[in-house]
Structure 1
Amino acid sequence: MIRGWYIGSSGMNAQQNRLNVIANNLANVDTTGFKRDTAVSKNFSELLIRRTNDDGVYKISLGSADAAPIIGKMSLGVETNESFTDFSQGSYKETGSKTDVAFSAAGFFTVQTPGGERYTRNGNFMIGKEGLLETKDGYPVLGEKGPIYVADTEFFIDKDGIIYDSEDMREIERFKTVRFENERYLKKQGSSLYAETDISGPAYIAEGEERPAFLQGFVETSNVNVVNEMVQMIEVNRAYEANQKTIQAGDTMMSVLWSKTASLRG
């Protein structure tokens, strides 16, 4: 019964973590370029149950001989294994603004922050006071030669991410677009920014088939499906309640056991 308390409480903790992830997804359903997270759970190591007393005669159990053979196993509960980001493509939203850019496939814009280079899918840019192309938080967007200077909105972006002056079609810069070996393991840093990790590997310039096509005048919406998230929220609430009832049932049985034991001793 006491083991049941711990198993039930571990289930409640895991469901609480899932609920936090779902709530964050729903809160960012209208955030440009947002990628939903998914919480993954796993079992604790399972306990192998052996006979504590036997006649000393070797018996075959799971391919081995043992005087106290394995008679079964018991689950020790569940825990949250990881929360990973789903980088599936979101839909496009036309804005008509020349400073807005979207990708047609996988890839990341590179921006300069006080903490170093960071990466984003949010192409909702603006022109700063110094004529630099910036994110809404004021971080300069980087080209392959450095920050992108455009001065005004009179520029054109082709499918390869090359920026041209609209008047004389002079090439200004090319977006620094990067990929990673294991994009799933990028670390979210808020404001639609990602940082590389040891597992994701370092950023490298996307070229050839790995380089996405650029769409000027569009932004990528979040890939959160509200209906699916709400269904999962209902599932989490029901699973949480089931684990809660398991603990309550164990507590009731333990109370009965204690009261019966006390009455017998009395």
Structure 2
Amino acid sequence: MIRGWYIGASGMNAQQNRLDTISNNLANVDTTGFKKDIPVSKEFSELLLRRTQADGIYKVPGGSCDAAPVIGSIGLGVETNEIYTDFQQGSFKNTDTKTDMALAGEGFFAVQTPAGERYTRNGNFHLGKEMILLTKEGYPVLGENGPIHVEDDKFFVNQDGMIYSKEDNALVDRIKVVRFENERYLKKQGSSLWNTNEIAGAPHIAEGDERPRFLQGYTETSNVNVVNEMVQMIEVNRAYEANQKTVQTEDSMMDTLWSKVATVNR
């Protein structure tokens, strides 16, 4: 019976993690370039139940055999295995703002932060006082030659990310877009930023077919589907209640065991 408490409690913990993830997805449904998280759960190994003390052992020359029949198996609970990011492409929103950009395809803008280079899909940029292209948080957007300096907001960006000034059509820089070996394992840092690690691999500049198309005057919306998230939230609530009832039932059975069965056998 005590095992039932742990099984029910593990299910409640797993559903709580799912609910926290769904809540975060819904909270960022209007965040530019946001990528939803998906929790993955795994079950503990099952325990094989056999009948014991029922004449289930018979002897043979040189040893004995267990003839106890298998009753069945019992699960030992579940746990959250990982929470990974779904990098599926979001839709595009027309802003008609020259400093806004969206990536059509896989890849990340590179930005310079006090903690080092970080990566984002949020192309909602603006010009700072020194005419440097910045993120909403004030981090410089990097070109392949460093922070991007432009004369005004009339610049033009082609589909390859080449920036040209409007006055003399001179090349300013090419926007740095990076890719990773295992993008699934990038870690969120907040403010729509990601950081790499040993599993995700070192960043490399996207070239050729790896390089996404640039859309100037557009931003990428989040890839969160509100309807799907709400449906999953209902499923989580029902699953949580089912596990909760399991714990309550186990508690009731234990109460009966101690208050009635133990009293009779005293």
TM-score with structure 2 setting the length: 0.93
Q: Which moved more, 1:256-265 or 1:107-116?
A: 256-265
Deviation at 1:50? 4.8
Q: Deviations over 1:100-122 (max 9, x none)?
A: 00011111000001111100000
C-alpha distance in 1 between matches for 2:171 and 2:133: 15
1:15 is aligned to 2:19: no
C-alpha distance in 1 between matches for 2:57 and 2:178: 67
Alignment partner, residue 97 of structure 1: 97
Deviation at 1:56? 4.4
Q: Deviations over 1:208-241 (max 9, x none)?
A: 0110010000000000000000000000000000
Aligned in 2, Cα 1:67/1:143: closer, same or farther, shift over 3 Å? same
CA RMSD of aligned residues (A): 1.7
C-alpha distance in 1 between matches for 2:148 and 2:47: 59
Letter of the 2:57 partner, please give it.
D
Q: Secondary structure at the match of 2:57?
A: coil
Q: Deviations over 1:22-47 (max 9, x none)?
A: 00000000000000000110001222
Quick check: 2:52–2:68 contact (8 Å CA) kept in 1?
A: no
Q: Spell out structure 1 runs of 4+ moving beyond 3 A.
A: 48-54, 65-70
Quick check: 1:52–1:68 contact (8 Å CA) kept in 2?
A: no
1:163 is aligned to 2:163: yes
Aligned length: 260
Alignment partner, residue 42 of structure 1: 42
Query: Unpaired runs of 5+ in structure 1?
Result: 59-64
C-alpha distance in 2 between matches for 1:122 and 1:206: 17
Quick check: 1:182–1:200 contact (8 Å CA) kept in 2?
A: yes
TM-score with structure 1 setting the length: 0.93
Aligned in 2, Cα 1:166/1:247: closer, same or farther, shift over 3 Å? same
Alignment partner, residue 201 of structure 1: 201
Q: Deviations over 1:115-154 (max 9, x none)?
A: 1110000000001111110000000000111111113102
Aligned in 2, Cα 1:146/1:248: closer, same or farther, shift over 3 Å? same
Aligned in 2, Cα 1:93/1:252: closer, same or farther, shift over 3 Å? same
1:67 is aligned to 2:66: yes
Q: Secondary structure at the match of 1:200?
A: coil
Quick check: 1:126–1:133 contact (8 Å CA) kept in 2?
A: yes
